Amino acid sequence: MTAAEPSSALASTTTTTVAVVGAGPAGLLLAHLLAARGIDAVAVDTRTRHEIETTHRAGILEAGAVRTLVDHVSDRVLRDGYEHEGVEHAHPHLHLFGAQHDRHPHARGERGEC
């Protein structure tokens, strides 16, 4: 799996089984999961590899995405993020995340930054 540079992608030809358009969180995860299954995959994006690697794109990750990342990629989301326990609104019984399923999304960065 590679994230092609815009200039090199235009100047050369790459042969692959699957081209994933967009190297954001979902695209990179999909390309990684395909490669882990032995399927040749390339993630392409208009941004440079450096921009992709240094820019946060997903501020909140749902519980299923967190499980998939931990199971198949890395536990970094658990180390660098924190479990978001939901949002309280004016109605005292309205709790948006995890109230029924005990599954909470994770946020990146410092507490309270999202």
Say whether pLDDT at 101 is over 80. no
Residue 75, C-beta contacts closer than 8 angstroms, at least 6 positions apart: 69
Tell me the pLDDT tens digit for each residue of 25-75: 889 889 999 999 999 999 999 999 899 888 877 778 888 888 888 998 888
End residue of a domain, out of 57, 77, 105? 57
Q: Are residues 49 and 86 in the same domain?
A: no
Q: Are residues 110 and 64 in the same domain?
A: yes
CA distance 21 to 34: 14
| Residue-level pLDDT at 57 | 74
| Residue-level pLDDT at 58 | 72
Say whether pLDDT at 15 is over 80. yes
User: Averaged over 3-11, what is the pLDDT?
Assistant: 52
- Which among 63, 57, 65, 30 is positioned nearest to 44, based on CA atoms? 30
Residue identified by tokens 């995890």 is 98
Q: How many residues does the chain have?
A: 114
| Residue-level pLDDT at 62 | 82
Q: Are residues 8 and 53 in the same domain?
A: yes
Q: What share of the chain in percent tops pLDDT 70? A: 64
Say whether pLDDT at 17 is over 60. yes
Q: Are residues 52 and 69 in the same domain?
A: no
Number of domains in the chain: 2
| Residue-level pLDDT at 114 | 41
Q: Are residues 22 and 42 in the same domain?
A: yes
Q: How confident is the model at residue 100 (pLDDT cuts 50, 70, 90)?
A: very low
Cα dist. 6→11, 31, 70 in Å? 9, 17, 30
∠64-41-81 over CA atoms, to 5°? 35
With b meaning 16 or more CB within 10 Å and e meaning fewer, what string describes 78-106? eeebbebeeeeeeeeeeeebeeeeeebbb
| Domain containing residue 64 | 58-114
Q: Are residues 62 and 46 in the same domain?
A: no
The structure's pTM equals: 0.60
